[in-house]
C-alpha cells in the first residue's frame, strides 16, 4: 500500500480524526481505513480529549474552530503523540461549554482540504506535517500564519508518554 521508497510516519497505526462536519469525517476515515489505518472519528474537542485519554492515538488530525472565532477564521494542526504537542498541551483543562460559532462561506472547505492534505502526507509517508505548528487561517483578508506549539511539561496526556508509559 505504501509507495516504494516511502516510509510510513508511524510505527503504530491508530488515528484519531476530529471534525464537526460528518461528511469530512467520513471522507478522511474512508481514505485512511482503505490504506490500512485504524481510525476513530469524533466531532468535538471534548470527545477528542476523552478518546485520547482512553486510548492514546498514534496521530490526531484536528480541525479547530474555537469559541470566539467568527466563522471566517480556521485552524489546522496534526498531533502525533510522543512526537508533537497534543491537544491538551494547546488547550489545557476542560473544553468550554459554549455554542460553536457560525460557519460562513467556503472556509470549512479550505480547512478540510488542508486536513485531507495532512492525511495524504501520512498515507504517502511524506514529510512536512503540521507537527508542533498550528496553521491559523484568516478568511476575510485571506492570510495564513503558522504558530509554534510547544509541549506542556505538565500535560496529563504527554507526560506519561515521555515517562515511557501509555496510561494517559
Q: What is the pLDDT of residues 54-69, one digit of tens each?
A: 887 888 787 655 444 4
Q: Burial of 56 by CB count in 10 Å (0-12 exposed, 13-18 middle, 19+ buried)?
A: buried
Q: pLDDT tens across 89-118, in order?
A: 887 777 666 555 555 567 778 888 898 899
Q: Residue 11 above 70 pLDDT?
A: no
pTM recorded for the entire structure: 0.59
CATH superfamily of this structure's domain 14-162 = NAD(P)-binding Rossmann-like Domain (3.40.50.720)
Best CA proximity match to 64, nearest among 17, 14, 127: 17
Q: What is the H or E stretch that residue 50 is in?
A: helix 45-54
Domain ranges of the chain: 14-162
Q: How far is residue 45's CA from residue 128's CA, in Å, rounded to a whole number?
A: 24
**pLDDT given at position 60:** 79
pLDDT at 166 over 90: no
Spell 133-156 as b/e; 16+ CB within 10 A means b: bbbbbebeeeeeeeeebebbeebb
Say if CB 83 and CB 62 are below 8 A apart: no
| Rounded distance between C-alpha atoms, residue 27 and residue 116, angstroms | 9
Amino acid at each position: 500500500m505504501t509507495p516504494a521508497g516511502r516510509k510510513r510516519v508511524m510505527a503504530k497505526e491508530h488515528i484519531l480524526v476530529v471534525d464537526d462536519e460528518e461528511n469530512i469525517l467520513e471522507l478522511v476515515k474512508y481514505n485512511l481505513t482503505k490504506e490500512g489505518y485504524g481510525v476513530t472519528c469524533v466531532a468535538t474537542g471534548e470527545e477528542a480529549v476523552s478518546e485520547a485519554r482512553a486510548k492514546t492515538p498514534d496521530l490526531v488530525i484536528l480541525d479547530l474552530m474555537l469559541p470566539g472565532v467568527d466563522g471566517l477564521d480556521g485552524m489546522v494542526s496534526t498531533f502525533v503523540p510522543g512526537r508533537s504537542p497534543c491537544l491538551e498541551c494547546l488547550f489545557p483543562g476542560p473544553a468550554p461549554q459554549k455554542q460553536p460559532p457560525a460557519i460562513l462561506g467556503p472556509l470549512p472547505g479550505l480547512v478540510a482540504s488542508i486536513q485531507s492534505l495532512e492525511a495524504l502526507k501520512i498515507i504517502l509517508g511524506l514529510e512536512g506535517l503540521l507537527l508542533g505548528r498550528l496553521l491559523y487561517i484568516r478568511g476575510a483578508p485571506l492570510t495564513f500564519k503558522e504558530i509554534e506549539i510547544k509541549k506542556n511539561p505538565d500535560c496529563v496526556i504527554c507526560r506519561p508518554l515521555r515517562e515511557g508509559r501509555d496510561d494517559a
